[in-house]
Chain A
Amino acid sequence: MQRKEKIKLSIWLLIIGMVVGLLVTAQLKSKPQRPSSTPLSNYTLLKENQENLTREQADLKNQISLLQNQILDIGQKLKKTQSSSRQQVDQLAVLKDKTGLTELRGKGVVITLDDSAQFPASSNSIAHAADMRDLVNFLWTQGVSGIAINNERIVASTSIDCIVNTVMINNTKMTTPFVMSVVSDNKDLKGYIEKNDNLTSIWQRVKNEGLKFAIIESDNIILPVYKGSLVVDYAQLQ
C-alpha cells in the first residue's frame, strides 16, 4: 500500500514538474517584441493622438468663436459708417441667424436621452446616434427654430454619427447623457414628442428596455453659436 502511494505521488510530482517546466520554458522562449509592433504601444499612440487632436479641436473652435464675434462687432460699426450697407448688414445678420451662427434664445424643451440604468447594456437599452437623427428630423418637421445637442449646434453641415461605441456630432465626440436643447414657439411640442405614434422605436425601448427619455419644457433655452467650418467651395447661386 505504501509502495502504491509512493508511486502515485511520484507520478503526480512528475506531472507537476513537467507542467512547471513547460511554463518556465514558454516564458523564457517568448522573446520581447520590438516596441513598434506591440498592440499596447499602437493603442497608447492612438490614444495620445486622439487626446491631442481633441484639445486642438477645442482650441480651434475657440479661435473661430473669437473671430466670429469680432466680425459681428465690425458689422455693427459698418452700419454706422456705411449707411448704404445697412440693408446688406441686416440681411446678412438674418441669414447668419438661420444658419446657426448666432446664439438663439427662447422658449422650448430640453430632451435627455440616456442609456438604461435598469437593464444590462444591449443594442436596445442604449442611446444611439440613429435615435438622435430620428429625433432631430422629427423636431424639424414640427417647425422648431433651432436645436443643439450637448452644446453642439445643429447646422447645414451637421452629421450625427456612430463610430463603434462613440457618437460624434459636428465631428466632436459625445458621451451620454445626450441633452438636446430645442427652441420652439410650438406650445404642443412636448405633447407631440410624447405621443407614442411618433418616434416609435424610442418609446418602445423606453417601455421595454428602460431607455431614458425625458422631456421638460423651459422658458429659457439658449442655443450656442456653431463653432465649426461651413464650406461652400463648389456651389454657386444661380
Chain B
Amino acid sequence: MPNFSEKMKKNSHWLIFIIAGTVLGFLFTQQFYLQKKIAGEVQPEGISDLAIQVLQLSKSNDGLKKEIAKLADEKQLSERSVFDRDTAASTLNKDIKKYQILTGDGAISGPGVEIKIERKMQLTQWVDLINAIRNIGAEGIAVNSRRIIFNQGITDKDLSPPYTIDVVGNADLLYGSLSRRGGILDEIAQGQVTQKDLLILPSAQAGNR
C-alpha cells in the first residue's frame, strides 16, 4: 500500500493547482468587494452633488445669520418703540416699506439688470427662468413693464415677445450669474443681459390688466 508521502508526491501538482486557485479566488474576491465599496460611496456625481449642496447650504446659512442679526436689531428697536413714539413711527415705517417691496405694493427703483429676449418663450421656460432669477436673488421683477410677484403666477396669455425683463437687485451678481455660459439664459432663451444703475418697476396693481 502506498504510504502518505508517496501519495503526496503523486498528487502534488493537484495540490499546487488547488492552492493557486484558492489564492486567485481570494484575490479576485477582495478586489471585487473593494471596487464595489468605492464605487458605491464615491460616485463622481455624488461628490459634485454634495459639493453644490454644501455651497448652497453655506450661502443660505450666511443669509440666515444676517437675517438673525437684522431681526435682533428690529426686536431692540421695537422694544424701544413701545415707550418712544418717534422710534415706533420710524421702525414701523421702515418695516412697512420692506414688505411693500416684497409684496409688490408699490413701484420700486434700484440697480439691477435688463434682459432682452426676442423669441417666444413657453410657459415652462418662463417658470424656470423666474425661478432661476429668484435663486440668484431678485428683489423685484417686471416683464414688459408688468410686475411679477410670487403669489400671482404666470399664464401663456400674459406675455408676448419681444420680452424685456427688468430685475432689481445686486447688479454684479445678477449679471454674472445670468450671463455665464451654460447658465439659464443660454439653456432657455439666449437673451442679452445688461447691467443697469437704475431701473423702475411698477407696482403689481399697476401692471395687472
Contacts and interface: CB of A to CB of B under 8 A. Distances in A.
A1 interface: no
Interface residues of B, number: 88
B61 A53 contact: yes
Interface in A6-42: 9-10, 12-13, 16-17, 19-20, 23-24, 27, 39-40, 42
Contacts of A78: 78, 81-82, 88, 92
A156 B150 contact: yes
Contact of B127 (A75, A133, A172): A133
A23 to B, nearest CB: 5
A92 interface: yes
B39 to A, nearest CB: 10
A98 interface: yes
Contacts of B52: 163-164
B58 A43 contact: no
Nearest to A63: B68
A168 B60 CA distance: 11
Nearest to A139: B153
A230 to B, nearest CB: 6
Contacts of A91: 96
Given A156-B103, A164-B52, A171 B59 contact: yes
B17 interface: yes
Q: Which one of A16, A130, A155, A229 has the greatest number of beta carbons of chain B within 10 Å?
A: A229
B128 A95 contact: no
B127 A40 contact: no
B46 to A, nearest CB: 7
Contacts, number: 249
**Interface magnitude class on chain A:** 35 or more
Contacts of A70: 75
Interface of A: 9-10, 12-13, 16-17, 19-20, 23-24, 27, 39-40, 42-43, 46-47, 49-50, 53-54, 56-57, 60-61, 63-64, 67-68, 70-71, 74-75, 77-78, 81-82, 84-85, 88-89, 91-92, 95-96, 98-99, 101, 130, 133-134, 137-142, 146, 154-161, 163-166, 168, 170-173, 201, 228-238
Interface of B: 13, 16-17, 20-21, 23-24, 27-28, 38, 41-42, 45-54, 56-61, 63-68, 71-72, 74-75, 78-79, 81-83, 85, 88-89, 92-93, 95-103, 105-112, 123-124, 127-128, 131-132, 134-135, 137, 139-140, 149-155, 168-171, 200
10 contacts: A10-B13, A23-B27, A46-B51, A74-B79, A85-B85, A134-B124, A140-B152, A141-B154, A230-B67, A237-B97
